[in-house]
Amino acid sequence: MTEANGTSVSIQDLSLNFGAVSVLQTLNLDVAEGEFIVLLGPSGCGKSTLLNCIAGLLDISEGRIFIKGKNVTWEEPKDRGIGMVFQSYALYPQMTVEKNLSFGLRVAGVARDEIAKRIARAAEILQIEPLLQRKPAALSGGQRQRVAIGRALVRDVDVFLFDEPLSNLDAKLRAELRVEIKLLHRKLQNTMIYVTHDQIEAMTLADRIAVMRGGIIQQLDAPQTIYNRPVNRFVAGFLGSPAMNFLDGQVEAGPVFKTDGVSVPLDRYVFDGTERPTGACVLGIRPEHIAFGDAAKSMPFSASGSVEIVEPMGSDTLVWTKLGGRNLSFRVEAERTLRPGDPVQIGFDPVRASLFDAATGNRL
Amino acid sequence: MSDQAVTLPASAGAVANRLEASGPRGPKPRHVFSRRNIFLYGTLFVVAVYYLLPLYVMVVTSLKGMPEIRLGNIFSPPLEITFEPWVKAWSTACTGLNCDGLSRGFWNSVRITVPSVLLSIAIASVNGYALANWRFKGADTFFVILIVGAFIPYQIMIYPIVIILREVGLYGSLAGLVIVHSIFGMPILTLLFRNYFSSMPEELFRAARVDGAGFWGIFLRIMAPMSLPIFVVAIILQVTGIWNDFLFGVVYTRPDTYPMTVQLNNIVNSVQGVKEYNVNMAATILTGLVPLIVYFISGKLFVRGIAAGAVKG
Amino acid sequence: MRYRFLTAALAATAALQFAGPAAATDLEVTHWWTSGGEAAAVAEFAKAFDATGNHWVDGAIAGSGGTARPIMISRITGGDPMGATQFNHGRQAEELVQAGLMRDLTDVATKGKWAEVVRPKSLLDSCTIDGKIYCVPVNIHSWQWLWLSNEAFEKAGVPLPKDWNEFVAAAPALEKAGIIPLAVGGQAWQSSGAFDVLLAAVGGTDAFLKVYKDKDATFAAGPEIAKVFKAADDARKMAKNTNVQDWNQATNLVITGKAGGQIMGDWAQGEFQVAGKVAGKDYSCLPGLGLNEVIATGGDAFYFPLLKDADKSKAQEVLAETLLDPKTQVAFNLKKGSLPVRGDVDLNAANDCMKKGLAILAKGSVMPWTDQLLSQDTQKQKEDLFAEFFAKPDLTVEEAQKRFAALVASAD
Amino acid sequence: MSKSERPNPLFRNLNAKIASIPMILTASVIFVGGTVWTVFYSFTNSKLLPRLNFVGLDQYYRLWATPRWLISIENLLIYGAISLVFSLVIGFLLAALLDQKIRFEDTFRTIFLYPFALSFIVTGLVWQWLLNPDFGIQHVVRDLGWTSFTFDPLYNSSIVIYGISIAALWQGTGLIMCLMLAGLRGIDEDIWKAARVDGIPMWKTYLFIVIPMMRPVFITTLVIIASGIVKVYDLVVAQTSGGPGIASEVPAKYVYDYMFFAQNLGQGFAASTMMLLSVVIVIVPWAYLEFGGKKRV
């Protein structure tokens, strides 16, 4: 993962317009050799479009794309040294698994024994040897996606592109294959660019996550950084399940955050810049960072309220209460039995919180 | 829907049973002669009679002798079955001095239909594929022109095409006729193929591109093998259309290469004395036989292909 | 050039002697003669031509001339001409000749002394454009006949009419006996032709020429033509129960006694013959509807497209000669029911009706017909008008005459 | 920049362009070229052969003063309205009936579809015969004793165009039914389940839910029906040749007759141009909206 000295994929000032609609806007992204990058965002954010641009399946309007130091902006997909895995697997239905795997190699005129060698290796890695003579229609979803990955594998390329590869699978299979992809990456040490809207996949797989919205990369960082220090309210809200709590209010000199009868001292909060802003802002705090009961009392901020709703999740329980007139959720251990109406004491350490400008949404 | 009719009440009945012993229990009874069924099959049957009537009359008449036709009722079955009219229609009916019936026209039609069907489908499928997957600038404009072209009555185009064919020296040749059929088959076929290829997963096409296949590689190795239903539809439409064509056949061929429809028209309109309805009907059925057989064989595939080519827009 | 003329002349001579060239040449001949009598007649041509050692490739196109002509013209203008083709002589092929697509037959005609043998002379005039001869007239067809079913009149108990007026008078009796008085097929040219016949018979030759030759629209709107329209009105009333399309289907109604009569050209006679009917006994004919015994010299002619192939060109000449050969003329015209274009042939075999026609011809009572006088365009408009007139009883005589006059005014 | 040259836009998708040459030629040379040529010569007085003798709009004045042309237009409108409405309604109803999970569906479908395999010439001949009052349906019914029964649509000027439509519908509804059936099969089963649970009557489900969902099918169907309507020719020729009189004339026949029978190309071209114009006015904006401009990502 970390001979990150060489740059594998480099995108410079890339823009893509469809007529008057701008889909990607002056985008820059450098992916290091062997790095696992996840492009994360809601649908329509341009993440798949970006991936297709990298693959050469879409012609870009502006900018350049380098793969392995070579300008591939105008190259055909096959000449870019990439392999790609699609959401719908995109297996050729009339060909057997083996033919599916070898199609690209046959097109490229690779020698027959070399093809056999590569297929054997890929089939071994993905454990699909028994399936080689079957047609895609006779495979389960998970098997199909393995074959689709295999198709990228046999190409023996430097860069793997994944376009929401697990979205069509059920939850259990998704978790299994997620692990397999991670193992695969560790084994192959290839550069991988992975598009998903699933934050768990992003968090578990990525070396770095690029959170996208409206054709712009909002934040590009390691998963933990993005989780803990989101650069804006969008990123903060998009990552994390259950979602971060937001409280609208004011920052006043002190600094202190105030909203309907609640004031949170911000002495320990690490501001982004050196300036101490004041004015309308939003305070975000993740449910797991809210302490409960006795532990809450020792927090720099603490308040009391009553339970509104209880959502048992199995491993823990999500409890909803009100703070300053707004809904606030927090986690308690599954063993705790709370009922609506029970009084609760909550508290948190502002160092764990995030503060966003109410107007721009940017982190303060 | 019918299986729900069985399963839903069954489970509901299980619950009810515990509460009320006399309630409905087990599968919901179904009546073969329910009002719905009588209406449904009754309507279908009546409509089917309307559709079959002409065929019935054709077959029955073609098996009757002329005296019987003159006396009788067109719907009554033949008292005495004769295959004479069929033999005559196939091998001895006259047009002018040629008295070899439809037999010659049959082979001419085969010679015209086969290459025309192949060429028109080859062109239209590639067009549809290029339009669906490789849209280049201006392609849509040409496509719109093509679709509008589908509305142009053929009669209007006869003269310009005569001139064009004359200029390229193909007038009167089989090749010329094949080209004409390909041209006029192009709009609807291209529309069908374009719709069909558009409905295929885009990712498949992308995967093939990543695999390094080019325009022709993707078409021949990925798209075409997946497109059996739409090819069947195209074949059916073209075989029927070209086999049944009269206008181009008569204008762009010579008498010794007249297709079957032209000869049918000649036989039917060459009234020598009394109209021989039985021979006409036999000739009519014979002429329609090839497309009819194609339909009967491939009916199911036709619906499937139509679904794929027409439904997704 | 001189050499070619020489060989052509030699070939023509050879053909006349029925010692055809050794190498048989296939010559495709297109025509629209497909009814029983017509097919029998055309077979005579084919027989005679094959006897010269060449081969007649028959290109019959069924339907009417209206169906066949576009196909012939497309082929000639499309650069794939046949060896020879039928047209009605007159103005149908005018433009093809002007465009230089048709072959000049002047040399063949001079050799064969056509100018002397073809009679009446107007036939050859119709083939002549700018002093050159472009076609071979093969028969004389006249439209002006009323064919009557003797059987039908017997059944209705009325005597055979001697002219149109008596025929109209007999109509109610025929109708009462369940007989259609007048059979007029549904095709437009039949109603239009019937009107022209009425115009020539009821209005007279002068009126006919005034309208169609001088294109006198005022006259066409006048009282004399109104009389013709009155007659046409009678005709359509008598014909209203005819449910057939083809002319020979209509003739067949007369043959079988289901209809009293039919206004149709002399080609109808071929149908009577094929059906084994005898003129004077089973059927009767009234030339000029019994009112104006004049024969129009319309008819069929063969035109020869200009061909590149020398052998075929030679065969064309042979065919041209053959068509006018006295024996062929007799054989063909007897079958076809038309009159031969030569005055010097022996027609003893001719039947009653044909002899009537020959007698009129011998008297020189001839007139030109619409094919020679009017363009196809005008003909077609006329057809449309009379098709509508005959099919639509609520199109009044006055309205129809007004439209007819307007048509004459714009005719060419 | 780098070693890869910016490709000339003309050569991008080169293979696709090469493959589209037949289409481009057909569209531009035959359809556009032929049309332009036709329109151009409609301003001349060409007779048998095209010639450049311009007469301005004379051919058009004459066209619109010709009763036969006016009748043709009127007939086309009637025929078009009948074909459109009845093909769609009958086609849809048959498809809906067949979609009820019935037995013998294949048999019924084949029965409804087979006429489509027959040419208009054949169709016309058969129906001309069935509708002939002397030995067709009328004759048979009269023989059964109902002597005043009259059913002679092809021989009655005022209804002949409806008579012609009988055969047209017989021939064409099968295909429409097939298209509709395909469309119905493409509807998500869950829609039906939802409608059933909500207690929506079946006809309402069809009318308000299913039909709106079948828009693409209706569009393809419309293209097929409408192009058939404009082109109607053989059927009329085979059944009535435009008769009785000129009561069942249609524009395509007018064009053909005047171009070839009357040897008046100018007039035929003028009529063609009017037909083309109406097609273009109706179709082009729709076709462009439907097929042009729409970009796929």
Least CB–CB distance from A74: residue in D4, D295, D297: D4
> Which chain D residue has its CA at the smallest distance from A23's CA?
D297
The confidence band for B274, taking pLDDT boundaries of 50, 70 and 90, is: low
Q: What does residue A340 show for φ and ψ, rounded to 5 degrees?
A: -55, 135
Q: What is the mean pLDDT of residues C211-222?
A: 89
Alpha carbons C186 and C242: distance in angstroms, whole number: 8
Element (H, E) at C105: none
Q: Which of A11-20, B77-86, C289-298 has the highest mean pLDDT?
A: A11-20
**Single pTM value for the model:** 0.79
Given a cut of 50, is residue D136 above it in pLDDT? yes
Indicate the residue among B88, B122, B151 that finishes a domain: B88
Tokens of D289: 């909206």
Tokens of D183: 């469309």
CATH topology of domain A242-357: OB fold (Dihydrolipoamide Acetyltransferase, E2P) (2.40.50)
> Residues of D with CB below 8 A from A75's CB?
4
- In this structure, how many other beta carbons lie within 10 angstroms of the beta carbon of residue D145? 7
Q: What is the pLDDT of residues C298-326, one digit of tens each?
A: 788 899 998 888 888 888 988 988 888 88
Chain C residues whose CB is inside 8 A of the D246 CB are: 188, 384, 387-388, 391
Chain D contacts of C410, Cβ < 8 Å?
Answer: 62
Report the mean per-residue pLDDT for chain B: 79
**Structural domains in chain D?**
67-291 (1.10.3720.10)
List Cβ neighbours of C365 (8 Å cut-off, separation of 6 or more): C293, C294, C295
Rounded Cα distance between C251 and C270, Å, is 10
Considering B20-24, B200-204, B232-236, D87-91, the range whose residues carry the highest mean pLDDT is: D87-91
Tens of pLDDT, residues D68-112: 899 999 999 999 999 999 999 999 999 988 888 888 888 888 888
pLDDT exceeds cutoff 90 at A323: no
Residues of D in contact with C178 (CB under 8 A): none
Subunit contact D155:C243, Cβ cutoff 8 A:
yes
Please name the residue of chain D whose CA is at the shortest distance from the CA of residue C400.
D67
Residue A205's pLDDT is 93
Which of D67, D256, D262 is the closest to C377 by Cβ? D262
Residues 231-250 of chain B whose Cβ lies under 8 A from any Cβ of chain C: 250
- B124 band by pLDDT with thresholds 50, 70 and 90: very high
Q: pLDDT tens across D235-258, in order? A: 888 888 777 878 888 998 888 888
User: Are both B128 and B23 inside the same structural domain?
Assistant: no
Is B67 touching C (CB cutoff 8 A)? no
Of the residues B42, B58, B88, the one at which a domain ends: B88
B212 — pLDDT class (breaks 50, 70, 90): confident
CATH number attached to the domain at C145-296+374-409: 3.40.190.10
Tokens of C226: 């109104």
Cβ-based burial of C209 (10 A; exposed 0-12, middle 13-18, buried ≥19): middle
Residue B97 lies in a domain: no
- Give per-residue pLDDT as tens, D180-232: 888 888 777 777 877 777 777 888 888 888 888 888 788 878 878 888 888 88
Residue C16 has pLDDT above 80, yes or no: no
pLDDT digits (tens, 9 = 90+) for A122-143: 999 888 999 999 998 899 888 9
Q: What is the pLDDT, as a whole number, of residue B28?
A: 67
Strands C259-263 and C145-149, bridge-based pairing: antiparallel
Interface with chain C: mutation pick from D72, D246, D265, highest number of C CBs within 10 Å? D246
Q: Does A346 touch chain D (CB under 8 A)?
A: no
For every residue of chain A, which 3-state class applies, written as one string? CCCCCCEEEEEEEEEEEECCEEEEEEEEEEEECCCEEEEECCCCCCHHHHHHHHHCCCCCCEEEEEECCEECCCCCHHHHCEEEECCCCCCCCCCCHHHHHHHHHHHHCCCHHHHHHHHHHHHHHHCCHHHCCCCHHHCCHHHHHHHHHHHHHHCCCCEEEEECCCCCCCHHHHHHHHHHHHHHHHHHCCEEEEEECCHHHHHHHCCEEEEEECCEEEEEECHHHHHHCCCEHHHHHHCCCCCCEEEEEEEECCCEEEECCEEEECCCCCCCCCCCCCEEEEEEECHHHCEECHHHHCCCEEEEEECCEEEECCCEEEEEEEECCEEEEEEEECCCCCCCCCEEEEEECHHHCEEEECCCCEEC
The top-level CATH class assigned to C2-141+298-342 is: alpha beta
Range of the domain at B249: 103-311
Task: Please name the helix (run of DSSP H) or strand (run of DSSP E) that holds residue C137, with its range, or none.
Answer: strand C135-137
B155 touches chain C (CB under 8 A): no
pLDDT at D1 over 60: no
Spatial separation of the C-alpha atoms in residues C144 and C196, rounded to whole Å: 8
pLDDT above 50: residue C9: no
Confirm or reject contact between C101 and chain B (CB < 8 A).
no
Decide if B93 is inside a domain: no
pLDDT of residue D129: 81
Q: List the domain boundaries for chain A.
A: 7-237, 242-357
Residue B96 placed within a domain: no
What integer pLDDT is reported at residue B245 of this predicted model? 85
Q: Sort residue D58 into left (φ over 0), alpha (ψ -120 to 50) or beta.
A: alpha
In B, minimum Cα distance to D196 occurs at B1
Mean pLDDT computed over A64-71: 90
- Closest C-alpha to C336, from C345, C344, C328: C328
Question: If you average pLDDT over residues B242-251, what whole number do you get?
Answer: 83
**pLDDT the model gives residue C244:** 80
- Does A contact C via 3+ CB–CB distances below 8 Å? no
Question: What is the number of structural domains in chain B?
Answer: 2
Which residue among B203, B209, B210 places its CB closest to the CB of A87?
B203
Looking at the partner chain, which of B164, B299, B307 has a beta carbon nearest the beta carbon of D110?
Answer: B299
Where does the pLDDT of residue C162 fall: very low under 50, low under 70, confident under 90, or very high at 90 and above? Answer: confident
How many other C-beta atoms are found inside a 10 Å radius of the C-beta of residue D47?
A: 22
Give the pLDDT score at C54: 87
Is-contact C72 C28, C-beta < 8 A?
A: no
B95 domain residue, yes or no: no
> A64: nearest CA in chain D?
D1
User: In angstroms, how far is the first alpha carbon of chain C from the final one?
Assistant: 39
The CATH architecture annotation of domain A7-237 reads: 3-Layer(aba) Sandwich (3.40)
Return residues 187-246 of D near B (CB < 8 Å).
192-193, 196, 214-217, 219-221, 223-224, 226-227, 230-231, 233-234
pLDDT digits (tens, 9 = 90+) for B90-112: 887 766 666 777 888 888 899 99
**pLDDT tens digits, B140-156:** 888 888 888 888 877 77
Nearest to A355 by CA among A301, A290, A281, A255: A281
Look over chain C and give the mean of its residue pLDDT values, rounded to a whole number.
83
Average pLDDT of every residue of chain D = 82
In this predicted structure, the answer to whether residue A235 has a pLDDT above a threshold of 90 is yes
pLDDT of residue B289: 87
CB contact under 8 A, B203 and A94: no
| Cβ-defined contact of B172 to C78 (cutoff 8 Å) | yes
What is the DSSP pairing of strand A301-306 with strand A343-348? antiparallel
- Out of A77-86, B4-13, C84-93, D96-105, pick the least confident: B4-13
Q: Does residue B94 sit within a domain? A: no
Q: Give D4's pLDDT tier (boundaries 50, 70, 90).
A: very low
A window 132-161, beta carbon within 8 A of B: 148, 151, 155
Angle between helix C397-409 and helix C223-239 axes, rounded to 10 deg: 120
Residue A211 clears pLDDT 90, i.e. is over it: yes
Give me the pLDDT at residue B22, please.
Answer: 64
Confidence of residue A3 (pLDDT cuts 50, 70, 90): very low
- pLDDT tens, A249-294? 888 887 888 888 788 888 888 887 777 778 889 999 999 999 888 8
Per the CB < 8 Å rule, is B226 touching A155? no
